[in-house]
Structure 1
Amino acid sequence: MRVLFLFLIFCINLSAQSQEQWLVGKVFIHGSGEPLPGATVSLLSGKSVVTSSTGGFRIPSSSISDTIIVSSVGYENLRLAIASTPLQIYLKPTGKQMEEVVITGTMRAIQRSASPVPVEVYSPQFFRKNPTPTIFDALQMVNGVRPQLNCNVCNTGDIHINGMEGPYTMVLIDGMPIVSSLASVYGLQGIPNSLVERIEIVKGPAASLYGSEAIGGLINVITRSPSKAPAISIEYSATSWREHNIDAGFRFRTGPKSQALVGINYFNFTHRYDKNKDNFTDLTLQNRLSLFQKISWKRKDDRQAGIAIRLFTEDRYGGEMQWTRQFRGGDSVYGEQISTKRAELIGNYQLPVSEKINASWSANTHSQRSAYGNTIFNADQHIGFAQLTWEKNAGSHHQLLSGIVGRYTWYDDNTAATADSSGIINQPDRIFLPGIFLQDEITLNSKHQLLAGLRYDHDKRHGSIWTPRAAWKWQISEVEHLRLNAGTGFRVVNLFTEDHAALTGARKVIIEGDLKPEQSLNGNINYTRKFIFNRGYMNLEAAAWYTYFRNRILPDYNTDPDAIIYRNLDGYALSRGSSLNIEASFSNQLRLTAGFTLQDISIVEKDETGKKTANRQILTEPWSGTWTISYTFGKTGWSADYTGNVYGPMKLPLVSSLDPRNPYSPVWSMQNLQLTKKYSNGFEWFGGVKNLLNFTPARNNNFIIARANDPFDKQVERDGSGNILATPDNPYAMSFDPNYVYAPNQGRKLFFGIRYHYKGRN
């Protein structure tokens, strides 16, 4: 018995010792050999740890022969049997690794987790969960970002970030301010999806680096480097509404040290639908072609050099079903027809010196010929931009970035915006806006990082404009970060008169007083946390913001029903809110994202008695949500995606006190379902249903377009003061107006497409 007792004690002690064994090691990035912090190290027994800032880990194991699973976002998962300890593990980056490197927040290539400025990054794979023919449409999947249609007839629009309207959103292509003013919607159309590497979004003012128009946020479309793009990439899709979209990209060598990437996008929709029976097209007819070419050179010490050009042409039409081109500009059959031609040039060159000095430039020309009923709108715009930046390490704790910039804008149209005070002599708008900026990223210690920046711009009309900003990042732990940002923004007066309410022929444009530049003061807080599960992870991001605006330029539609009066706000405007984003993955088969935004966009101004009153901004939802749920069926190549949006009630633009249409939109949702099959030879097909609930604005209204039966107001009667009278033919005292729009008129539709990718050799 004593021997048996001693044997049991020995076994228990041995078991305890085995349970107390520790597996130690480090995780590195394959290729570079750099440590990989934040990677998840798991055992089949269920225990998990996260690697430290040096890539190290220590995990208890009951057996030295256990199996270990190592994973990290942007890297290939690795599963291996443990033979000895300590371990040296190397993870290979995937295409998603590029999502972890951002440039927009600080204008420097930096790990996303290390950036003191919160930057949201989205890959083409994310947008393929709900494929769309344009980036403009694709952005509806991003929480807090909403494509807003501004015209029920021609379907042009802009991008809202956290409720702020399109003029406050700067759109960049490869960091260059290609898209602005006249091209707010066209700049996000026709970019071949096969050429997009990722899209970076900064919410909140970024004027201290990017200048005017980056007052509410910015969207940076990063195109692929030719050396990393597939040799061939082709996608074709079609819908039951007879829409056709072709997207193709090709890579080839142009010399021993240069490669080129060519992209083509063609979209065609020429079939007229009138399902709401108002004799107007439900969806604008479009015929669009875009060509893109990018060349990069391989240089000594990996210095950058590249140039890209994009050509864009489009014809779009919306209006009465019987309209043809012979009615263009006339007053018998109403139609809105827009012809657009656009060319863009982007370039960058890193100087051959020991310091990191980059020169970048862009130029674009935009020509638009439009007819809105019997109102002709012709406009031309030319923009040149140049920038020189210098990155410099000032000791071990300071990373400096300085730059000088210059932007020249020439704009001309046939409206009051480019006429002298008499309104007779045409005076094209010429604006030269030079600037200089300095930014210092300060590493206080391993946990705290501070960013301070200041920009100075000079406008001959407004004088000196200063825009400072500051940011602080606290790394609470390897998986938890807190960021605080504060700064100012500005937007110089650049009145874009293609306001569709002004161009329907029913309203004229009046500019009241000398308009001053708009300014904003912003503060926001951002918190991120990563949670590790046995076979998955969840990323949580919470944010809150507050923005105070001065000198907002607001259109007044109410004082005169036949005019739009532009003036600086006699008061102030507020944008405040909070948002929550969740990204999760379970067993590499089930993935989901969800986002929710709560916001209050209000305008405070004085009434006739001098009392301040607050009014909610029209076409702005008080809350919204987005989601994606994706499931991969093992290794079969099959996957399913369920995506959607939901929006709270928006205040809508009514045209009279008797207008019977709903003053607020209902809670409405767009939901989509997609099934995809991938093959090992590079082919894949996809198909599904969009707008599952078949929602359109007509569901809650007797009509959408005001007086669609009389688009030229020929039967509208007015009193001696010009006010519209209620008559038997016009019981609601309305004039023709197509601007009551908050959601697409396109109902449920089926879609189908095929893709092909051939990686080739570099």
Structure 2
Amino acid sequence: MHKKRVLLAGVAAGLGATSASAEMRLAVTDLETVVVTPTRTAQTVDQSLSSVSVIDRDEIDRQQPRQVSDLLQGRAGTSLTTNGPFGKDTSLFMRGTESDHTLLLVDGVRMGSATTGGASWQYLPPSEIERIEVVRGPRSSIYGADAIGGVVQVFTREGEEGPPRVNVFTGGGSFNTYEYGAGVAGGTEDTRYSLSAGHFHTDGINVQDDVGDDDDDGYTHTTASGKVSHWFTPSVEVFGNFLYAEGESDFDAEDCDFDVFPVQCQPYSSAHNEFTQVALRGGGRVSITDYWQTEISFSQSRDESDTYYENELDGYFDTRRDMASWHNEFYLGRDLDFVAGVDWRQDHVDGLSSMWSPGNDEFEEDSRYNIGAYQVLTAELGSHQLQGSLRYDDNEEFGGYTTGQLAWGWQVTDTWQTRASYGTAFKAPTFNQLYAPEYQTAWGTYRSNPNLNPEESASAELGVRWQDRQMYLDASVFQTEIDDLIANREVETDQNQFVNVNEALIRGAEAEIGAEWEDWQLSGAYTYLDHEDRETGNELRRRPNHSARLDIDRELGDFSFGATGIARGRSYDDEDNDVRLSGYGLLNLRTSYAFTPEWSLRGTLENALDKDYEMADGYNQPGRAVYVSIHFEQE
């Protein structure tokens, strides 16, 4: 068992290791990708019966991204919108669902703001990431609220058995951009460790031409991450990990006098957000028998943001989530696995905004708890596989909620598999929607609503996967119906409130391909979406009807060359479909040269064709840009 547990130590570190029987089952081949996010236990992609994409460290090194959005943009079923580059607000739309319908995990820690409901994708540091697992489709029956569209889990860098290995990098380029970082990782037979840190700065571009000043809107962040695990005996392990990020992001803003008409606005000479993102987790795993492994973990995440105008604090919103989890894996036989556990979470918020009415400047409620119990049963019946999951959540605000999912897979041949699934999911209302103080603008008074119901969804999917030693193809069609979508509506003259009104219908198809042939590596993805707000018949905002991505890389001795092409169809920026965002295509080029086994020089030419494009109306994106970096990675 001691040797076998090493096989899955890397992928299991985020959500739980596997017992001896599971490791033996997965050790049959090293050609299949192992994932843990779909069911909270280690499985191959085929066994998960899910639509999954994996981005590993080798691919991250080849892509040389400035932001995590560079890695995710255009992937199957995935599109992102940014209000400008470099640390600006980023929304991720998974299979056409809302931007807060995708759950973000960092090494098993639930991230995101309890006030806005969304995750701060823009602050994730690519230099600290070991791998990313993207699971498309509902996962509330396993993770609870927020996983209507899917789950993205980020794993930070990990150590392996061996002497300490150091990595160092530094680089810079367009827009007065520079970055640097260092890390060390290693381990013994019983202990693994990793520690790294980095810093990134850019002057950026002027994000909005007609708002605020004409200066560039820069971005700076400093990050650190660490991970350690130790086996006291072959069956007892303790672990801990953290990710810390802090920084500052400039934006354009104006000071407007709404008491006169027409409204008078003056640009602020400076405006910026200061942010802090934290993920902490620790716990232990025990293999009680060869057929039962249990894990207990405690974690905390923090999402903090302070807004300054002309260096004066205008408001802040701080979220803290305290969490605990008891996770169990039972191996009941060669073809029968059972997972069960309990999650507890307590959300805390604290905030202040200059927009809030005087004397009404606190949340009506500043904390709430959620307790969830889940179970997943997987059975193999010859060439068929069945999987069912069920979860019950008890929330302090809206009471009990049950979600479930059923999936079936058929291994038609050694290389072909078909799958089908149906699942329900929900999204809990945010603190802003439920409890935020009212505020007034020239367009009326805006209020929260403590009587909101959760948003609900039902999704169905049919998929097929073909895979051999050098190539794979995965394709699926899906449909999602969402009820009780929360929107801000005028309920009386000049009186606006969050209410459950909208229904959405989303249909789509997606395909993903990957291949390795001699010195060539290729991956591609395509997504088609047909989506509408069933109340108005309009398309949902900022979701492209078509999107595609193609990555090609070639190694020539010590040199490597690559290109990424991204195509995005048209979309609409507003709910009324009056503001059309044109489609566009981008080409990014990259190269690297390894002048020793440990030293390499890398360079990218982003937006090589110097395209002018927008992801959100009125927000600029950078033109052609060049970046160069040098890396040392100890073998």
TM-score (ref. length: structure 1):
0.71
**1:591 equivalent among 502, 521, 524:** 521
**1:399 corresponds to:** 337
**1:333 corresponds to:** 268
**1:530 corresponds to:** 467
> Do residues 625 (structure 1) and 561 (structure 2) align?
no
**1:198 equivalent among 131, 154, 179:** 131
- Which consecutive unaligned segments of at least 5 residues does structure 1 have? 1-30, 33-73, 76-89, 322-329, 606-612, 699-703, 705-738
**2:415 corresponds to:** 479
**1:310 equivalent among 227, 238, 243:** 243
**1:644 equivalent among 565, 572, 585:** 565
Deviation (angstroms), 1:141: 5.0
**1:62 corresponds to:** none
Return the alpha-carbon distance in structure 2 between the equivalents of residues 597 and 143 of structure 1: 6
Return the alpha-carbon distance in structure 1 between the equivalents of residues 500 and 567 of structure 2: 33
**1:12 corresponds to:** none
Return the alpha-carbon distance in structure 2 between the equivalents of residues 475 and 451 of structure 1: 14
**2:172 corresponds to:** 238
The amino acid that maps onto 1:386 is A
**1:756 corresponds to:** 632
* Preserved CA contact (<8 Å) 2:52 2:133: yes
Listed as ranges, the matches of 1:328-477 within 5 Å are 333=268, 335-351=270-286, 353-354=288-289, 355-371=292-308, 376-414=314-352, 423=360, 426-445=363-382, 447-477=383-413
Return the alpha-carbon distance in structure 2 between the equivalents of residues 642 and 564 of structure 1: 48
**1:671 corresponds to:** 587
Q: Relative to total residues, which structure has the larger strand share, 1 or 2?
A: 2
**2:617 corresponds to:** 740
**In the superposition, relative to structure 1, how do residues 153 and 579 fare at CA in structure 2: closer, same or farther (>3 Å)?**
closer
Return the alpha-carbon distance in structure 1 between the equivalents of residues 581 and 161 of structure 2: 45
Please, which moves more after superposition, 664-673 or 336-345?
A: 336-345
**2:499 corresponds to:** 567
* Preserved CA contact (<8 Å) 1:257 1:297: yes
1:76-98 deviation digits (Å, cap 9, x = unpaired) = xxxxxxxxxxxxxx99x6xxx6x
**1:116 corresponds to:** 49
Identity %: 20
Deviation (angstroms), 1:352: 6.0
**1:17 corresponds to:** none
**1:131 equivalent among 64, 74, 85:** 64
CA RMSD of aligned residues (A): 3.7
Return the alpha-carbon distance in structure 1 between the equivalents of residues 212 and 504 of structure 2: 39
**1:142 equivalent among 54, 65, 75:** 75
The amino acid that maps onto 2:610 is N
Return the alpha-carbon distance in structure 2 between the equivalents of residues 356 and 441 of structure 1: 16
Return the alpha-carbon distance in structure 2 between the equivalents of residues 121 and 376 of structure 1: 40
1:129-177 deviation digits (Å, cap 9, x = unpaired) = 3322332432115232223224799821222212223210101112221
The amino acid that maps onto 2:427 is R
- Which consecutive unaligned segments of at least 5 residues does structure 2 have? 5-25, 255-264
* Preserved CA contact (<8 Å) 2:89 2:122: no
1:702-758 deviation digits (Å, cap 9, x = unpaired) = xx9xxxxxxxxxxxxxxxxxxxxxxxxxxxxxxxxxx625x7521111111112111
Q: Per the alignment, in what secondary structure is the counterpart of residue 333 of structure 2?
A: coil
Q: Of the two structures, which has the highest relative contact order with CA contacts closer than 8 Å and spacing of 6 or more? A: 2
**1:208 corresponds to:** 141
* Preserved CA contact (<8 Å) 1:273 1:281: yes
Deviation (angstroms), 1:589: 1.7
Return the alpha-carbon distance in structure 1 between the equivalents of residues 404 and 286 of structure 2: 28
**In the superposition, relative to structure 1, how do residues 320 and 119 fare at CA in structure 2: closer, same or farther (>3 Å)?**
closer
The amino acid that maps onto 1:695 is K
Return the alpha-carbon distance in structure 1 between the equivalents of residues 476 and 354 of structure 2: 42
The higher radius of gyration belongs to: 1
Listed as ranges, the matches of 1:76-91 within 5 Å are none
**1:694 equivalent among 610, 626, 630:** 610
**In the superposition, relative to structure 1, how do residues 260 and 513 fare at CA in structure 2: closer, same or farther (>3 Å)?**
closer
Q: Per the alignment, in what secondary structure is the counterpart of residue 51 of structure 2?
A: coil
**1:582 equivalent among 513, 534, 540:** 513
**In the superposition, relative to structure 1, how do residues 697 and 388 fare at CA in structure 2: closer, same or farther (>3 Å)?**
same
**In the superposition, relative to structure 1, how do residues 425 and 540 fare at CA in structure 2: closer, same or farther (>3 Å)?**
closer
Deviation (angstroms), 1:462: 1.5
Deviation (angstroms), 1:494: 1.2
The amino acid that maps onto 1:191 is P
**In the superposition, relative to structure 1, how do residues 470 and 264 fare at CA in structure 2: closer, same or farther (>3 Å)?**
same
Q: Per the alignment, in what secondary structure is the counterpart of residue 126 of structure 1?
A: helix
* Preserved CA contact (<8 Å) 1:153 1:283: no
Return the alpha-carbon distance in structure 2 between the equivalents of residues 564 and 628 of structure 1: 46
TM-score (ref. length: structure 2):
0.84
Return the alpha-carbon distance in structure 2 between the equivalents of residues 671 and 207 of structure 1: 36
